[in-house]
Amino acid sequence: MDVDRREIVAGIAATALLPTTAAAAPAADWRPPAPDRELRVPVRGGSIYVRLNGDLAAKKPPVLFIHGGPGSGHSGFLPALQLADARAVILYDQLDAGLSDRPADPANWTVERFVSEVDALRAALKLDRLHVVGQSWGSTIALEYAARRPAGLVSLTLGSPLISVKSWEKSTRAQLATLPADVRRTIETHEAAGTTADPAYAKAMDVFYAHFLYRQTPPAYITAYKKRPGLTLNPVVYNAMWGPGEIAATGTLKSYDGEPLLPRLAVPTLVICGAYDEMTPAAVKPLVARIPGGRLVSIPDAGHAVASDAPAAYVAAVRAHLESTDARR
C-alpha cells in the first residue's frame, strides 16, 4: 500500500539479488532536480498534479511512475528522477492525494477510475510510447492498465505489488507471525474487535512498520520535499479503500483480485520487492511465475518502501529493465 505510516496511522524468467552498492549509485550529494515542467491534467472528478523531468521528445520512451496508497503521493519516487539523464520521467499525484484536487467524493474511489487517469495523462502529454512503473497500490493500477494491452506500452514494472488481497494478507500475516507475541496479540485483538483507533494498536503497528514498511531512514531530500505546502497524505481515501492498517483490508478493496490478469501481460515485466517487504519475495514469486517472461528482483535490507530504503539499488533495477527493453526494440 506504501502509505507513510509515520504520517498516517488512523513462468519466471529470473530471480536477481542486487547488491546495495550498485554501480549506478548516485553521488552522495545528489539531490532531486526541480521539475522541468509542472501542469494539471483534467481527469474524471477533478484535476491532478503532474511533474516532468527530461525531454519527452528524447529517443528513449518516457517512464510514468504510479504511487501507492491509496491517498499517498509522488514524493517516494524522487530517487527515480535520476533516470531523467536518459529519458523523460513523469511523476503525478492521484486524485484526492498529494497536490491534486481533493473532491472527497467516494464515487471517484474505484480501481477503474484511477486507471483512467493514465489515459488522461497520456492524452495530455501526447505519450505515444511509455514505460509504466507502479508501487504497491500503484502496481494495482499499473497491472490493470497493462492487462488491457494498450498501444504504445513498452514495459511494466510492479513494485511491492498489491496483485490480490488474498496474496497480500497471506504475506503480511506471515510477517506478523515473526514479531513478538505481545505485538501480534495487540494487533490481532484490536483488528478483531474493530478498536483500531486505540493508541495501543498504533504503537504495535509501528513495530510492524519498522520491520516491514520503512527499514531505513529516508533520504533527507525526501523528508524535506514532503514539507512542501499542500503535499500531504490523505487518510480518508486510504481508510475507505483499504482500512486502518497495512496488514488486512477492510475497505472497498477487500475483495480485489487481479491474479487472473497476470497471464494477459504482453510486455516485458519486472517485479521488485524488498527482502523484508510487506509483500515478500517468497509470496510474490508464484505470482510472477504466471506472468509471461516475468522477472523478480529482491532488494536487500529494504522493506515495502523500496525506493526510499534502497534508492541506489531500486533505481539501478528499474534502469536496467528500461534499458534492456529499449534495446529489444
CA angle 86, 232, 257 (to 5 degrees): 75
Check the CA dihedral 89-94-98-102 and report its sign.
positive
198 annotated active-site: no
Q: Which of 72, 75, 136, 139 is catalytic?
A: 136
Distance CA 171, CA 67 (A): 21
136 annotated active-site: yes
Say how far residue 254 (Cα) sits from the centre of its chain. 18
The cell numbers describing 38, all together, are: 509542472
Rounded to the nearest 5°, which phi and psi values hold at 237? Answer: -70, -35
Q: Which residues pair with 37 in a beta bridge?
A: 52
96 annotated active-site: no
CA of 122: how far to CAs of 40, 126, 241, 261, 316, in Å?
13, 5, 25, 22, 25
Q: Which of 67, 74, 131, 304 is catalytic?
A: 304
Distance CA 315, CA 236 (A): 31
Distance CA 15, CA 212 (A): 21
| Type of residue numbered 232 | T
Q: Which of 277, 298, 308, 321 is catalytic?
A: 277
Q: Which residues are catalytic?
A: 136, 277, 304
